[in-house]
Structure 1
Amino acid sequence: MSAATQQHEFDLPDLSCGHCVKSVTAVAQALDAQAQVEADLARKHVSIRSAQPRAVLAAALTEAGYPPAA
């Protein structure tokens, strides 16, 4: 991955199952094919390692139905 890759942390209140995790992963990888997503369903939290800016990822997650908590 490029040096510009960053780790972004998101609390996603609507994250509730494996399908949600797959959807969030698909969103991140549609923006950055090299994105790595780690999810903690119990905490409703995801970590996305990507070259995309946080705001771009947050907007895409919101559009997909998984708006990050403030």
Structure 2
Amino acid sequence: MVKLKVEKMSCGHCANAVTAAATKVSGVESAEVDLESGEIAVSGTADVNALIAAITDAGYPASVTS
């Protein structure tokens, strides 16, 4: 599982958009957004850089949590 910090995510619509972007990436088995922490947890074999690119392209800058 990988956790990503997602910026500009503040509502249910944002969470749905981020989840949709992440689940389109090959290898994603599941994705769960936590609005309170501003993170998404993704399980599967997806490439982290592909996840970051997909979520960022959807308008929500993403990065690996530290």
The C-alpha deviation readout for 1:1-25, integer Å capped at 9, x for no partner, is xxxxxx1111112111111111111
Larger strand proportion, structure 1 or 2?
2
Larger Cα Rg: Structure 1 or Structure 2? 1
- For residues 34 and 47 of structure 1, the distance between their equivalents in structure 2, rounded to whole angstroms, comes to 11
Cα RMSD after superposing both structures: 1.8
Gaps of 5+ in 2: none
Partner residue of 1:25? 19
State the TM-score, normalized to the length of structure 1.
Answer: 0.76
- For residues 18 and 43 of structure 2, the distance between their equivalents in structure 1, rounded to whole angstroms, comes to 13
Q: Which amino acid aligns with 1:28?
A: A
Distance 1:69 1:28, change over 3 A: closer
Q: 1:41 offset after TM fit, Å?
A: 0.8
Partner residue of 2:3? 9
Aligned structure 1 segments of 4 or more residues deviating by more than 2 angstroms: 32-35
State the TM-score, normalized to the length of structure 2.
Answer: 0.80
Partner residue of 2:38? 44
Length, aligned pairs only: 64
Q: Which amino acid aligns with 1:11?
A: K
**1:28–1:35 Cα contact (<8 Å) kept:** no
